């Protein structure tokens, strides 16, 4: 049975429902207003800036204990694995992606399937970190998502029929797409995965209506950007101005810097923010230099793909700390001024606050308990102060054998990985899903081969504590202080949402969706979904009631790459469901 509704509900045919629900196109204004709108969720991040904050107060700290299941929808079949999606909701229809590059439209009132689309994936796809998909974009009469064979798919949002499919990159070289794309001013914008295969990261914009390529911007120094007009390819400047300034020899040609988490957008400055992944290979001794624009946040002009500024968190990254984590725009109020700021919690263990207009460093501080690779950040530039002996050894010093092993905190899966944090303008706090773990890491000789793993390193991940790995933290961007924390036995791998009702929601690998008091961190409610929650919750209003939805299905990178940590979660069950909860009307007052 595909869906389970609480109570007995009968519906018309899927086609009739799709037609009746699909009357309204999604406009540019809908996207711009998503962070203020309560009856829909039409962007990944619940708003362009990615704050994952809802202005709804119906569900609050007094009545959240009455939140109850409304329906559950199964992704079905044997294609389970990790479910990292964030649902979208428009006109009573939920759009949700699943593992193996699938998408569904679901009646948001009953959980009944309206349509399903399965990408025809070829043999030989090479996703590094499970067959996941994190979500879709919606615009006009279409809904879009990326696939594991590095394609963009546009579907009619009311019928699920294919409108167009575009190849973004060659999956046989190691490329894939796992992140939700973003639509800005009629352009569908995507990044790419594949940094472990020596690909070249890039951000590309396509005409959302036709699928025609509009511009492309490589994120490794030395590669040419292009705009496309009237079918013609026009040079638009080399990323970084020239090749090889911060890379030795020709290594920039296989430099990695994958844009695998997608981006956010700030309408106030008309700027896209994309993070870039690890440089390739992991063995940093083979590529002395900063290796731009790897492990960076890059500000991009959405009109032509030009780079406005960049901020690099881990120059010459030797630990696979990446730099892809979301950059969230917010207004920083201090000393009587309001600064257009942006914040990110990096895999390297540091939290950064930047000026989003020019990328200048405002402050940075640790958000995890232990950092071993750096002693701190330069207070003026934010550049890390590398700790002597903190980098794994050079194999060349060991006659080409395995280099010296070091113990590094955090592990390469990061103080925070892909799972998005949230920001509340009410509390002025960021809610960060984080993990406490270490790794033994060493370097090995390696050479590039197209389509093959390009690491040059080995590792073993270990828990940093006996009784917990995951930590949900409330961080103050003004002081760098941890305001509260909630420890979790297993690693946290799902996203966070916060609301004007004073709540913070996130899920756990143990299967729970939980709600916490945004000010104190007190746990107020939980529900076991039957499988690990590594998706990101959303909330919206429908028929006068507030709903909360989250995808449930254990998987992702932890069971694949987690070493000793993987043994902590080895008995967790896979799954594939969307759970939807509501606060009944008679419980709004909390009685």
Whole-angstrom CA distances from 540 to 61, 108, 110 are 17, 10, 15
Could you tell me the sign of the dihedral formed by the alpha carbons of 371, 377, 383, 388, in that order?
Answer: negative
Specify the residue for token string 């992944």.
277
CA 552/CA 535 separation, integer angstroms: 6
Quote the distance between the C-alpha of residue 172 and its chain's center.
24
* Percent helix / strand / coil, the chain, rounded to 5: 10, 40, 55
Indicate the Cα dihedral angle 446, 449, 450, 452, nearest 10°: -60
Rg of the chain in Å (alpha carbons): 22
Dig out the tokens for 36 from the structure. Answer: 């203020």
- Asked if 320 is an active-site residue, the reply is yes
Contact 393, 443 (CB under 8 A): yes
Q: How many CA atoms lie within 13 A of 45 on its CB side?
A: 27
**3 state DSSP class of 541:** strand
Task: Count other Cβ atoms within 10 Å, centred on residue 355.
Answer: 16
Contact 173, 194 (CB under 8 A): yes
Classify strands 503-507 and 361-366 as parallel, antiparallel or unpaired.
Answer: unpaired
**Length, in residues, of the chain:** 591
**3 state DSSP class of 340:** strand
| DSSP-derived secondary structure letter, 135 | B
Per the DSSP assignment, residues forming a β-bridge with 473 are 432, 485
Dig out the tokens for 104 from the structure. Answer: 């569904």
Indicate the Cα dihedral angle 345, 346, 350, 356, nearest 10°: -60
Whole-angstrom CA distances from 28 to 25, 41, 42, 174 are 10, 14, 11, 34
Contact 74, 577 (CB under 8 A): yes
Which helix (DSSP H) or strand (DSSP E) does residue 566 occupy?
helix 564-568
Could you tell me the sign of the dihedral formed by the alpha carbons of 24, 26, 28, 34, in that order?
Answer: positive
Contact 43, 29 (CB under 8 A): no
Q: Left if phi > 0, otherwise alpha if psi is -120 to 50, otherwise beta: which for 322? A: left
Could you tell me the sign of the dihedral formed by the alpha carbons of 372, 276, 150, 159, in that order?
Answer: positive
Classify strands 53-54 and 496-499 as parallel, antiparallel or unpaired.
Answer: parallel
Question: Of 317, 320, 322, 346, which one is the catalytic site residue?
Answer: 320
Whole-angstrom CA distances from 362 to 294, 334, 352, 359, 558 are 21, 12, 8, 9, 33
CA 440/CA 517 separation, integer angstroms: 37
Which helix (DSSP H) or strand (DSSP E) does residue 18 occupy?
helix 14-21
Catalytic (active-site) positions? 320
């Amino acid at each position: 049975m595909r869906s389970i509704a609480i109570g007995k509900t009968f519906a018309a045919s899927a086609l009739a429902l799709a037609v009746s629900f699909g009357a309204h196109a999604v406009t540019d204004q809908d996207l711009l207003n998503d962070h203020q709108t309560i009856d829909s969720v039409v962007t990944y991040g619940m708003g362009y800036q990615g704050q994952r904050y809802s202005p709804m107060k119906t569900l609050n700290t007094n009545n959240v204990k009455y939140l109850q299941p409304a329906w559950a929808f199964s992704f079905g079949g044997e294609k389970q694995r990790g479910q990292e999606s964030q649902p979208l909701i428009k006109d009573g229809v939920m759009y949700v992606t699943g593992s193996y590059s699938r998408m569904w439209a679901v009646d948001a009132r009953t959980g009944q399937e309206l349509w399903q689309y399965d990408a025809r994936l070829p043999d030989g796809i090479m996703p590094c970190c499970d067959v996941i998909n994190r979500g879709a974009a919606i615009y006009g009469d279409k809904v879009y998502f990326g696939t594991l064979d590095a394609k963009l798919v546009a579907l009619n949002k009311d019928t699920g029929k294919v409108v167009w499919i575009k190849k973004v990159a060659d999956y046989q070289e190691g490329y894939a797409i796992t992140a939700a794309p973003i639509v800005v001013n009629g352009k569908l914008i995507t990044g790419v995965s594949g940094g472990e295969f020596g690909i070249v990261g890039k951000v590309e914009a396509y005409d959302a209506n036709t699928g025609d390529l509009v511009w492309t911007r490589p994120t490794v120094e030395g590669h040419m950007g292009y705009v496309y007009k009237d079918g013609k390819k026009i040079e638009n400047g080399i990323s970084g101005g020239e090749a090889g300034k911060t890379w030795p020899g020709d290594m920039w040609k296989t430099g990695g810097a994958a844009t695998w988490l997608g981006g956010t957008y700030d309408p106030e400055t008309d700027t896209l923010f994309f993070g870039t992944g690890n440089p390739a290979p992991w063995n940093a001794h083979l590529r002395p230099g900063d290796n731009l624009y790897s492990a960076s946040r890059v500000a991009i002009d959405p009109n032509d793909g030009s780079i406005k500024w960049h901020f690099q968190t881990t120059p010459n990254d030797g630990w696979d700390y990446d730099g892809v984590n979301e950059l969230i725009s917010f207004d920083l109020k201090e000393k009587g001024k309001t600064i257009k700021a942006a914040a990110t919690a990096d895999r390297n263990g540091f939290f950064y606050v930047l000026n989003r207009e020019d990328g200048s460093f405002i402050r940075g501080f640790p958000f995890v308990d232990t950092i071993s690779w750096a002693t701190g950040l330069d207070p003026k530039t934010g550049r890390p102060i590398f700790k002597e002996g903190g980098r794994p050894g050079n194999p060349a010093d060991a006659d080409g054998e395995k280099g010296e092993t070091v113990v590094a905190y955090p592990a390469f899966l990061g103080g925070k990985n892909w799972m998005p944090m949230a920001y509340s303008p009410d509390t002025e706090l960021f809610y960060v899903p984080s993990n406490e773990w270490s790794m033994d890491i060493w370097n090995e000789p390696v050479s590039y081969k197209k389509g093959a793993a390009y690491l040059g390193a080995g590792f073993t991940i270990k828990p940093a504590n006996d009784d917990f790995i995951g930590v949900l933290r409330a961080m103050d961007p003004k002081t760098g202080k941890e305001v509260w924390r909630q420890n979790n036995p297993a690693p946290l791998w799902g996203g966070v949402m916060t609301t004007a009702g004073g709540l913070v929601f996130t899920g756990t690998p143990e299967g729970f969706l939980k709600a916490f008091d945004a000010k104190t961190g007190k746990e107020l409610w939980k529900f076991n979904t039957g499988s690990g929650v590594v998706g990101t919750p959303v909330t919206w209003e429908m028929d006068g009631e507030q709903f909360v939805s989250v995808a449930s299905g254990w998987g992702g990178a932890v069971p694949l790459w987690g070493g000793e940590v993987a043994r902590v979660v080895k008995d967790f069950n896979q799954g594939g469901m969307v759970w939807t909860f509501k606060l009944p009307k008679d419980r709004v007052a909390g009685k």
